[in-house]
Amino acid sequence: MSRFMLSLMLAGMLGMGALQGAQAQAQLPTAQVPSGAPVARGLIVKLKEPQAGDPTSAQRERPQRLQERLAAVAQDAGMFMRGQAAIGGGHHLMRFARPLEGRAVDDALRRLRLHPDVAWVEPDVLMKLAQVAPNTAPNDPDYAAGLQDHLKGPAIYPGGINLPPAWNRTTGGVNATVAVLDTGVRFSHPDLAGRVLPGYDFVSEVEYGNDGDGRDADASDPGDWVSTSDRTTQRALYGACLRSDSTWHGTFIAGQLSALTNNGVGVAGINWSNKVLPVRVSGKCGAFLSDILDGMRWAAGLTVAGAPANPNPARIINLSFGGDVACTASYQDIINEVTAAGALVVVAAGNDNLSPKRPADCKNVLTVGAVQRNGLKTDYSSFGLAVGIMAPGGTGVATATATTNIYSTGNDGATSPGNNVYSYKVGTSFSTPLAAGVASLMLALNPALTPAELTQRLRASVRPHVFLAGSPSCGPRVNVPCNCTTSTCGAGLLDADGAVLAALAPVALFAGVVGPVAGSTISLDGRASAASTGSALVSYLWTQVAGSTVIIQNPASAVASVALPAAAGNFQFKLVVTDNAGRQGEQVLSVTSFTAEAAAAAAATSAAAGGGTAASGGGGGGGSMGWLWGAGLWLVALAAWRRRRGLAALQP
């Protein structure tokens, strides 16, 4: 991915202050910063779209013009940047000359947020892994020995995911690739032989990648250890990182999902047939947000500059990273993109025993919290309204054995790779792939399920939360295992058998109706609806559920039609499809009609925004700075100068 150098500095006090702030910083971003101070290597920026009718709109979309606009924004804000890169989806990474932290990051964000050409901006920081520090039953010996009891039913493991009866219905299929955005994978592990696709390495920083290069086609995990020596002798790089052995985090999750099963060796994977797509985004200290965003887009089959096309787009993305702030615009934009591309994003709730943070609190994700063996929420799992469902994550107790935690494929190397082994871990990182794996079983039965359908059916098929008398209810300041409710821990406990049964119902899908004119006739087209594998649709039924009454022509056909009233209005139509086993699926289509005048005006606005002719000369380009923004920037600089001088700020 090319990076374009910026060498622009605003003269005077503001520029001097920005440069001094940058020079004062020495440490690069880290996933876990003991002091709690935010550290960033740059800013993720999205520029505003041109105004409708702007004669420069077409020119502004050209890559060279975008680079010029970003350079102008940096110059206006008095920021010296090392380079810039497109992330995708209209997002851009602007690299600092040196990493910044704390107040310096806040000042940089404040200056850019005041700029009239910036839609939003956020820091590019390292994200931490959501891991807590330390019949058709398969014949894998570790499963038989009870080391994977969390996969079994409530009679054995009250919090278990109830896989055995689900495996009686399906052991999976090859049509549901699961992408694991993580540390990479040890391809040499014998229990992963033939179950892992080549993948890609998106770790952009050589020092953190730990493999001697940047982004490339090698998604193997070289180890992500941080030694005491690293922290003391290379403080600029690793001083703010926590000391840790290599985690082999991605290898562990790959085994949970797709370890060779029923082969008489090791552990059992959830899906016996599909493959894992390793997308390496994390190295020493964690993963940069921009690398995660690019990795998500590539995993879903979207274009990423500098990376080859992904020949194996994932239907499910497993993301076991946590954050310390609420969902941000860049995360939400990319999640929306990959969801629209057909990929379900399954994320870890986090291990802070607090409300989930990004990406767990973003929309269009399935957030998974952790329960222990008896079904109570673990003492570490985050909780709250953002949580969708709960699944086993281990006890979190240091003396716990493998039978009370999660067991999977691993490696015994404390630093670089050692022997391929099996080990156990604890955390919502390992609850997440249980839900992702069950979703892959659902897709084996019904490939037509959309991300929204998968989420809805997983939540609808849960078992109720466990209630144990004498245990407290989960809530703030409850630091022990606790009883869940639907307001603290989502819909309930993940149940694989219930989920695959829910997947058997057909899917009602329809073509959207965009901008219909009042008085016209529209088609209600449900031909995209589908039955599960081995079944067939036998009936369609369209009914009206909202809006002024209209007559539906051919309501019992896949394609119906409606003559809209002459007055503009809002309407809703429900499609119910039934298969040959009597199972039903339904979906509601919303339609808004417009007057002919409003539709023509909307079309003209769209044409002006997307196809205007570029005009030469004139003001108002990306580098222009209105006087109000300039005055605001001057006040920010004055406030920063007063803080450095220890003076009280002026009150408004």
Q: Tens of pLDDT along 257-271? A: 999 999 999 999 999
Q: What does the buried/exposed string (b/e) look like for 418-454 if buried means 16 or more CB atoms within 10 Å of the residue's CB?
A: eebebbbbbbbbbbbbbbbbbbbbbbbbbbbbebebb
Lowest mean pLDDT among 232-241, 336-345, 479-488: 232-241
For residue 322, what pLDDT band results from cuts at 50, 70 and 90?
A: confident
In Å, what is the CA distance from 454 to each residue of 244, 324, 339, 360?
A: 36, 27, 12, 17
Please return the burial class of 500, using the count of CB atoms within 10 Å of its CB with bins 0-12, 13-18 and 19+: buried
Quote the crossing angle between the two packed helices 249-258 and 432-445, to the nearest 10°. Answer: 30
Strands in 349-393 per DSSP E = 366-371, 389-392
Catalytic residues: 182, 249, 429
Question: Alpha-carbon distance 205 to 238, whole Å?
Answer: 13
For residue 613, count other CB atoms closer than 10 A to its CB. 9
Q: Where are the domains of the chain?
A: 13-124+622-645, 159-503, 521-598
In Å, what is the CA distance from 594 to each residue of 189, 551, 630?
A: 60, 19, 42
Q: Give the SS3 label for residue 170.
A: coil
Residues whose CB is less than 8 angstroms from the CB of residue 209 and which lie 6 or more positions away in sequence, other chains included: 201, 203, 222, 283, 284
The answer to whether the CB of 394 falls within 8 A of the CB of 426 is: yes
**439, pLDDT greater than 90:** yes
For residue 108, what pLDDT band results from cuts at 50, 70 and 90?
A: confident
For residue 78, count other CB atoms closer than 10 A to its CB. 24
Quote the crossing angle between the two packed helices 496-503 and 432-445, to the nearest 10°. Answer: 30
Tokens of 240: 């703010």
Structure confidence at residue 652 (pLDDT): 31
Structure confidence at residue 127 (pLDDT): 80
159-503 folds as Rossmann fold (3.40.50)
Average pLDDT over residues 449-472: 96
Interstrand relation of 420-425 and 406-411 (parallel, antiparallel or unpaired): antiparallel
Interstrand relation of 559-563 and 344-348 (parallel, antiparallel or unpaired): unpaired
Residues whose CB is less than 8 angstroms from the CB of residue 32 and which lie 6 or more positions away in sequence, other chains included: 128, 241, 242, 285, 286
Global confidence as pTM: 0.78
Average pLDDT over residues 346-362: 96
Quote the crossing angle between the two packed helices 496-503 and 451-460, to the nearest 10°. Answer: 130
Q: What is the pLDDT of residues 200-228, one digit of tens each?
A: 999 999 999 999 899 999 999 999 999 99
- Helix/strand/coil (H, E, C) string of 491-524? CCECCHHHHHHHHCCCECCCCCCCCCECCCEEEE
Average pLDDT over residues 455-476: 96
Taking phi over 0 as left and psi of -120 to 50 as alpha, with beta for the rest, 308 belongs to: beta
Q: Which residue has the tokens 């901006």?
A: 121
Average pLDDT over residues 100-104: 80
Q: Which residue has the tokens 């919502």?
A: 428
Tokens of 565: 């009233």
Question: Alpha-carbon distance 581 to 356, whole Å?
Answer: 40
The answer to whether the CB of 511 falls within 8 A of the CB of 525 is: yes
**366, pLDDT greater than 90:** yes
The answer to whether the CB of 379 falls within 8 A of the CB of 341 is: no
Structure confidence at residue 514 (pLDDT): 80
Compute the mean pLDDT over every residue in the chain, rounded to the nearest whole number. 84
Question: Alpha-carbon distance 458 to 285, whole Å?
Answer: 33
User: Peptide bond preceding 476: is omega within 30 degrees of 0, i.e. cis?
Assistant: no
Question: Alpha-carbon distance 609 to 49, whole Å?
Answer: 9
**34, pLDDT greater than 80:** no
Tokens of 569: 């209005």
**% of the chain with per-residue pLDDT over 90:** 64
Question: Alpha-carbon distance 540 to 526, whole Å?
Answer: 8
Q: What is the DSSP string of 18-62?
A: HHHHHHT------S--TT---EEEEEEEEEPPPPTT-TTHHHHTS
Average pLDDT over residues 41-48: 86
Q: What is the DSSP string of 192-211?
A: GTT-B---EE----HHHH-S
Question: Alpha-carbon distance 285 to 205, whole Å?
Answer: 11
**634, pLDDT greater than 60:** no
Q: What is the pLDDT of residues 374-399, one digit of tens each?
A: 999 999 999 999 999 999 999 866 55
CATH class (in words) of the domain with range 521-598: mainly beta
Q: What is the CA radius of gyration of the chain?
A: 27
